[in-house]
Amino acid sequence: MLSKTMTDALNKHINAEIYSAYLYMAMSAQASFSGFPGMANWFAIQTKEELAHTEKLYAYVNSQGQHVVLEAIEQPQTKFTGPLDMFETTLSHEQTVTGLINKLADLAVEEKDHATQIILQWFISEQVEEEENARDILDRIKLAGNEGQGLFMIDKELSTRVFVPPAA
């Protein structure tokens, strides 16, 4: 069974994952409005991934006999100066999320909560991938410049991303 401290921390993180989805939905809207349908797709898929992360934690808290508490979600940034700004924000945000998950993992170790340590290992591995993906796209945008043919090619590539639900 989860302690109250761990339950509260996991609930707080569930809300942070929902905020992440909200942020990426705002980025998808901005990319679409700005004429980048591939980036809009990439951010829409990212939104779905964040909601899947939410569901994974939600199910875990419930499976441990605890109550999920959903709180108000802060309004995300809604205006970006372009693709470079969006992906710099993405990388920074993912680094913040990594820090939050690491703090959860530290708490699970401190509380000798082995079950939570196991589920958090999935999230730790996922964050390595999230940061790598954001960094890769950001690096390519920096090479291509914030406008022109290179950016068009990156946008076209990002249109091929599809949502793959995480394993149960």
Q: Name the residue type at position 69.
A: V
Mean pLDDT of the chain: 96
Residue 2 and residue 110: Cα distance in Å, rounded?
13
Query: What integer pLDDT is reported at residue 147 of this predicted model?
Result: 72
pLDDT digits (tens, 9 = 90+) for 27-43: 999 999 999 999 999 99
DSSP states along 148-163: SHHHHHHHHHHTT---
Query: What integer pLDDT is reported at residue 102 of this predicted model?
Result: 98
Q: Residue 48: which CATH number?
A: 1.20.1260.10
Distances (CA, A) of 157 to 38, 67, 83, 105: 7, 41, 14, 35
Q: Which residue in this structure is represented by tokens 């939050």? A: 100
Residue 166 within any structural domain of the chain: no
CB-facing half-sphere around the CA of 159: CA atoms within 13 A: 12
Torsion of CA 28, 22, 127, 165, to 10 degrees: -80
Residue 164 within any structural domain of the chain: no
Q: Name the residue type at position 52.
A: A
The ranges of the chain with pLDDT < 70 are none
Residue 167 within any structural domain of the chain: no
Residue 163 within any structural domain of the chain: no
17 close to 54: Cβ distance less than 8 angstroms: yes
Query: What integer pLDDT is reported at residue 117 of this predicted model?
Result: 98
Range of the domain at 136: 4-71+79-158
